Structure 1
Amino acid sequence: MRKLSYKLIIFLMLGCLAFVYMYSKLNLSSHSNTYQSIKKLRKNDGMMKTLSEKVVLSFVVCDSRFNESLNVVKSVLLFTPNPVHFVIFTDDSLRKKIEKILNKWGDITNNQLTFELHKINFPEAHREDWMNLFSKCAAQRLFIPKLLPHIDSMIYVDTDTLFLGPVEELWHHFSLFNNSQMSGMALEDDNPNISWYPRFAKHPFYGKYGLNSGVMLMNLTRMRNFGWVDYVTPIMLRWKLNIPWGDQDIINIIFHYHERTVYVLSCRYNYRSDQCMYGDACSDAATQGVFLLHGSRGAFHNNKQPAFQVFFYNNITT
């Protein structure tokens, strides 16, 4: 009996030791997995942060751009289930129409869409110059950092743009800015034989090829700290006879002298007819697809680019 009890005690001790060993091993494995998970979360912290924020998107619309502007909104909502806040600058003639339609769409989407409307607001000094620079109201975007003190960051787009993917993907690029960068844009072109700026510009411009401002990530807080609005009027007065692209040229002049403040976006986030007119000039779009289509120079409405035109009318307006 005593011999049996010794055997039982030894058996129980061995069992306890085995249990302790297995528990320690599992616990270490759990800690290792937890550590790896924490590392992964830290690595993706920027993405987590941007996904938790409500996307803010802005555009300026006057005159005949009304239908285009509605298509911007539709294309954004088509590709995301998440809330999006639109900040729209418009003139008095369109304000009520926009408000009525967007209120209706807000109800339909269960308030996925929220918006705020602002009047066109230029400084009284040189107001007419600003109002008609390039196209009516287009230069309003230059003054947005001062006009929207309650907004930290936003995506600005021209009204002749269409999203072909979730807006959160573009918004995520804010988290990739370094400490010096305050704005993100694509190059006008990355081929000196195609890009307008190295061939024709009579003013300073960004880098070798210039920037296209049809899609612009704007960290408004950093732009305010930079003193952005203080630059634009002196530049306009100095160069107004040599800036055919208006506000875009002014943006290029500023960033010519402050290149480190620019985050360069891929051409797939601002895909224009230039990228396909002379062959495939946007390799990212060829491999990853076009994310945002920009129908600049009337590409959605004239017969020079039928693919752009067909896409705009058949896939969005119907």
Structure 2
Amino acid sequence: MKRFPFYTTLILIIIFSVSTILYLNSKISMRNTKLYSNHQNKRIFKSKLMKKNDEVVLSFVVCDSRFNESLNLLKSGLIFTQSSLHVVIFAEDDLHKKFNSTLTKWKMLIARPFTFELHKINFPEANRKDWMNLFSKCAAQRLFIPALLPHVDAMIYVDTDTLFLGPIEILWNYFTKFKATEISALALEDENPNVSWYPRFAKHPFYGKCGLNSGVMLMNLTRMREFGWIDYITPIMLRWKSNIPWGDQDIINIIFHYHERAVHELSCRYNYRSDQCMYGDACADATFNGIFVLHGSRRAFYSDKQPAFQAVHRAIEEFEIGADLSPKMLLVNMEKYLNETTPSNCGNLKDAFLKIPTETFKKHYNLPDR
């Protein structure tokens, strides 16, 4: 009987071992990227819907030169809201003193309840460098919030380049409309798949036919924790990091691709970007009912290419919290700057920019008709 030489046996053992490792890795990879079974996709969450008129919780992340931009965002919320507002800010260490100083001063100048809490930027040590610089510095912090804020039930998360044009509590009340399977609310990246970025260019799974834009995100943190949100984000990042140019937004799209019933879709008027108007009217709801949240993505608030966005941003930036400036003056300046802009497709929809601020001030400050 012939015997295999020792080296032949050794080679067979090595081949078998490598094959076993590759097989196990492939199973792990499939588990991590094919995220949810059909059972999970039909999951019903036990946490109750929130009641109306609860304290509104707003959150954002600030790094680098975004401090002034974030103050303008917060100012827009304080101008229009009539509810108690609690703000949760994740910021680099050197910004904490500036936030404390400014917001403590604002608290004394505002009649309505306004509180805030500051947190350091906090990523897992493993892959920290990848997380820190995914898309833009610190932007991925939002993905870890369900674990970082165990004391918070829900929040509205917004990018710092957004502005509220109406009372935040109206958007907050969408939490009460969530179905039992829904953990978050976002607007679509675009309503037309022929022009949306995701179906044309994405090299990864994404939500629905057009993908989601994450600039405004209602987060039911209690349900996200039940869902196991944190368990999925690192495997997704490691699997797709070479193909996710929009960073945290792409990770959110990948998760909700596999769990579409977890999303409550918001109208484009709650995340209105230049994409909705630069080539014509692509958000009929905003045109008819008014823009509620203006999102200056791709630096629309600072670019001469989007003068209408610049005009609204300028009016809010010039409004001083606590100064003897009436809301009527803010509205006058907003309309004045819009009228002074160079012609543009977005500028042609001037009434969409002014409708919600006008209605809000008339209701709460008895302003005369325009």
| TM-score, scaled to structure 1 | 0.84
Q: Is the 8 A contact 2:83 2:112 kept in 1?
A: no
Code of the residue aligned with 1:251 in structure 2: it is I
Is 2:342 aligned against 1:317? no
**Partner of 1:118: helix, strand, or coil?**
strand
How big is each residue's C-alpha offset from its partner over 1:269-299, in whole Å with a ceiling of 9 and x where there is no partner?
A: 0000000011100010011000000000110
**For 1:80-159, what aligned pairs fall within 5 Å after superposition?**
80-110=81-111, 112-159=113-160
**Matched residues in 1 for 2:111 and 2:168: separation?**
18
Q: Is the 8 A contact 2:82 2:112 kept in 1?
A: no
* Aligned length in residues: 271
Q: Is the 8 A contact 1:187 1:209 kept in 2?
A: yes
| Number of the residue aligned with 1:275 | 276
Q: Is the 8 A contact 1:197 1:210 kept in 2?
A: yes
Is 2:210 aligned against 1:205? no
**Partner of 2:90: helix, strand, or coil?**
strand
| Number of the residue aligned with 2:52 | 50
**For 1:141-180, what aligned pairs fall within 5 Å after superposition?**
141-180=142-181
**Matched residues in 2 for 1:162 and 1:195: separation?**
23
| Number of the residue aligned with 1:233 | 234
How big is each residue's C-alpha offset from its partner over 1:5-26, in whole Å with a ceiling of 9 and x where there is no partner?
A: xxxxxxxxxxxxxxxxxxxxxx
**Partner of 1:63: helix, strand, or coil?**
coil
Code of the residue aligned with 1:301 in structure 2: it is Y
Bigger Rg, which one: 1
* Structure 1: 5+ residue stretches without partners: 1-45
| Number of the residue aligned with 1:290 | 291
How big is each residue's C-alpha offset from its partner over 1:131-186, in whole Å with a ceiling of 9 and x where there is no partner?
A: 00000000000000000000001000000000000001000100000100000000
CA RMSD of aligned residues (A): 1.1
How big is each residue's C-alpha offset from its partner over 1:170-213, in whole Å with a ceiling of 9 and x where there is no partner?
A: 00100000100000000000111221100100000000000000
Tell me the percent identity.
Answer: 71
Q: Is the 8 A contact 2:184 2:220 kept in 1?
A: yes
Q: Is the 8 A contact 2:52 2:176 kept in 1?
A: yes
Code of the residue aligned with 1:254 in structure 2: it is I
**Matched residues in 1 for 2:318 and 2:253: separation?**
33
Q: Which runs of 4+ in 1 moved over 2 A?
A: 314-318
**Matched residues in 1 for 2:207 and 2:184: separation?**
13
Aligned-pair CA distance for 1:50: 1.6
**Matched residues in 2 for 1:62 and 1:299: separation?**
19
Q: Is the 8 A contact 1:157 1:215 kept in 2?
A: yes
Aligned-pair CA distance for 1:110: 4.0
| Number of the residue aligned with 1:299 | 300
**Partner of 2:179: helix, strand, or coil?**
coil
* Structure 2: 5+ residue stretches without partners: 1-48, 320-370
Larger helix percent = 1
**Matched residues in 2 for 1:108 and 1:311: separation?**
23
**Matched residues in 1 for 2:264 and 2:305: separation?**
32
Aligned-pair CA distance for 1:309: 1.2
